[in-house]
Chains A and B, each alone.
Chain A
Amino acid sequence: MIGKGASTSVHLLADRKKEDEAMFFQHLVNGIVIGGIYAMVALGYSMVYGVLQIVNWAHADVLMFGTFIGVILTGFGLPVWAMVIIAASFTAALGIGVERLAYRPIKSPNRKMAVLVSALGMSTFLQNLAQLIFGSSTQPFNAIEKGNYTIGKIIFSNMQVIILVITAIMLLILYILVYKTKMGVAMRACSVNIENAKLMGINTNRIISVTFGIGAFMAGIAGILIGTYYSAVYPTMGYLLGMKAFAAAILGGIGSIPGAVAGGFVIGIIESLGAGYISSSYRDAYAFIIMIIILVIRPSGIFGAKHIDKV
């Protein structure tokens, strides 16, 4: 009797351990998936900062607008691939338009602050315009029929697999664009020193537009992915997503492309694990807490270049 009881409890313990492991991997998978989305949005912040040294606070609202366009196009019955491409292109155009209208005309020695307020104004404008056009209620977004796979005890949804694959493809395309093409060389030159890049015959205005366009394009795709993942699209959806993505960009060292990607995944994973193991009501706080801790240790972020003050 005693022996039997002990063996069951050992079995139970082993089962429990297995379950704990499965739980951990489940959280990890969820974290990586959401981290991929953060990384794509963070790239938009980071690239713009790299070239212009300004924070594009309207980025998240541009993303939201693009996602709504995706919802409308799905309503027209367009195939998914066409919907994604058209909506993301529209987002890119909107991103370029925001730069042309709200950032480029501002010329002042104290430009950074002026651009900040202008960007906040643009963000208010876009958010309320979306409320006017699309209504303030949450809209469902079901572009793809959902299904689940299981490997061992870990459950994947097909949406998670799609998110991971698209994130990987987008990051690869971005890598080729920035590191292997002439345009990428020009972009990197601008982020080193925009004045000198101008002197070298680079059309910096065009590069700025392209940077905004690429950032917004990726944001558009990220918005459609997360809208479909949670099946919820609403005018203020950009706020928390944008803030966490910005925290990711800062965490990795703003202006650095590998930094933004790493920061996105770090924040996604820690948020998911924190929500699973500590407390889910503070889910939105983990991103900021981890960012503050890392910045105390490394003030310029994980991949950020150390800034040296010159006298």
Chain B
Amino acid sequence: MSKIKELFAKYGKIKLSQKTKLILMIILITAAFLCPLIITNKYTLHILISCFIYACLTLSLNLIIGWSGQFSLGHVCFFGMGAYVTTLLMTNTGMNFFFAWIIGVLFTTGFAALLCYPTLKLRGDYIAVVTLGFGEVFRLFLTNAVGVTRGPAGIPSIPNPTIFGFEITGKTMFYYFALILLIFFIIFMKRFNNSGFGMAMMTVNEDDIAATALGLNPRRYKMAAFAIGGGMAALVGGFYAVYMGMIAPTSFSYAESIKMVSMTVLGGMASIPGSILGAFLLTALPEALRSFSDYRMVLYGAAMVVMMIFKPDGMWSRNKRIKNEYKYAAMKGNKVK
């Protein structure tokens, strides 16, 4: 076991030059765009679209957990809110998808900023359980407010989105839609990460008091993290609703939040490639294990435990400043150099 750990430590971190990174990036994006030409199987395309959806969600959750350090367990609340607001506007008023989408995102952003107000004073696990509570209350609202949301039956036959009279239908077109969404998210997160605002958020995450001494207002950044992350999740939610064609409260259960948190931590905190990797792995893994049928979810759970034992910092985590070398070495069971 220790030998495997050593191997992981040795080859776990791959250093690439800026140029190779760029080339790899271009190859990956081209491959992603050419994918539907080769894969015509609808099932495989569906899995890929799910991977994109989860990658976007993981990025938005990573903004809250990784960048701003607030452990949110109720992310599905924002995802579901975006989906429901968009759908209700479309089905009740016959609004164009894109307008409904924007309104859904703005609504959720405002709501997320409002919701996070009680969590601002709290720490760590307290935030987790309060956000979990929000998710649960939201799901109960969806199930019980039959007059608004049609209750547990959900909303069927959501119309396809149209843009300038051009209708988006079929798996291939939705594939490109999802891919463009994901690329937009990656660019957004990259810009965010390198911006002054993003750096300020990371400073607040590292140490509230030091950040305050630098003239940053921690409350502002914590609130902003929830608002931006929530808005991003709502963006994915709107897409999810039109892609699936129907939504129901069961799609927005606590298990989904758990899945997203697992993807975030497994991929690596505050890391863009990590989030995507985590989302792809945890979405594709149950499908790959399908041949084990009944044992599938058992193996999935066991795999999560094993992965955390061997790579506790995630697969592609940001290099963290180590505060206490002695403590770290003692934890790893090594001798201090």
Would you call A110 and B209 a contact (CB within 8 A)? no
Q: Is A140 an interface residue (CB 8 A)?
A: no
Q: Is B144 an interface residue (CB 8 A)?
A: yes
Would you call B301 and A114 a contact (CB within 8 A)? no
* Pick from B122, B208, B313: contact of A299, CB under 8 Å: B122
Q: Is B180 an interface residue (CB 8 A)?
A: no
Q: Is A22 an interface residue (CB 8 A)?
A: no
Would you call A123 and B331 a contact (CB within 8 A)? no
Give bound CA distance, A251 to B309, whole Å.
Answer: 31
Chain A nearest CB, measured from B139 CB (Å): 9
Chain B nearest CB, measured from A138 CB (Å): 18
Would you call B140 and A285 a contact (CB within 8 A)? yes
* Pick from B123, B132, B309: contact of A105, CB under 8 Å: B309
Which of A72-80, A124-132, A182-190 is the interface stretch? A124-132
Would you call B294 and A288 a contact (CB within 8 A)? no
Chain A nearest CB, measured from B314 CB (Å): 8
Give bound CA distance, A120 to B294, whole Å.
Answer: 19
Which of B89-97, B156-164, B259-267 is the interface stretch? B259-267
Give bound CA distance, A126 to B254, whole Å.
Answer: 17
Would you call A111 and B118 a contact (CB within 8 A)? no
Chain A nearest CB, measured from B270 CB (Å): 11
Give the total of A residues in contact with B, Cβ under 8 Å: 53
* In the complex with contacts A106-B309, A250-B125, A120-B258 CB distance below 8 A: yes
**B residues less than 8 Å from A97 (CB atoms):** none
**B residues less than 8 Å from A127 (CB atoms):** 297, 301
* Pick from A110, A118, A288, A307: contact of B320, CB under 8 Å: A110
Q: Is A108 an interface residue (CB 8 A)?
A: yes
Would you call B301 and A122 a contact (CB within 8 A)? yes
CB closest chain-A residue, reference B151: A281
Give bound CA distance, A292 to B129, whole Å.
Answer: 9
**A residues less than 8 Å from B332 (CB atoms):** 107
* In the complex with contacts A49-B125, A121-B302, A114-B312 CB distance below 8 A: yes
Give the total of B residues in contact with A, Cβ under 8 Å: 53
Interface residues in A121-150 by Cβ distance below 8 A to B read: 121-129, 132
Would you call A107 and B333 a contact (CB within 8 A)? yes
Q: Is A311 an interface residue (CB 8 A)?
A: yes
Residues of B within 8 A of A (CB): 65, 71, 118, 121-126, 128-130, 132-134, 136-137, 140-141, 143-144, 208-209, 254, 258, 261-262, 265-266, 269, 294-295, 297-298, 300-305, 308-309, 312-313, 317, 320, 322-323, 327-328, 331-333
17 contacts between A and B (CB under 8 A): A101-B305, A102-B305, A106-B309, A114-B265, A114-B308, A117-B304, A118-B304, A118-B309, A120-B261, A124-B300, A282-B140, A285-B137, A285-B141, A289-B133, A292-B134, A299-B122, A309-B209
The 10 A-B pairs with the shortest beta carbon distances in the complex, nearest first, are A121-B304, A125-B301, A288-B133, A124-B301, A108-B312, A114-B312, A128-B297, A118-B308, A121-B305, A117-B265
Residues of A within 8 A of B (CB): 49, 55, 101-102, 105-118, 120-129, 132, 239, 243, 246-247, 250, 254, 279, 281-282, 284-285, 287-289, 291-292, 295-296, 299-301, 307, 309, 311
**Beyond A246-B129, A281-B140: 20 further Cβ-contacts under 8 Å?**
A55-B125, A102-B305, A107-B333, A109-B323, A109-B331, A110-B317, A113-B71, A117-B266, A125-B304, A128-B298, A128-B301, A132-B298, A250-B125, A285-B137, A289-B137, A291-B133, A299-B121, A299-B122, A299-B126, A301-B126
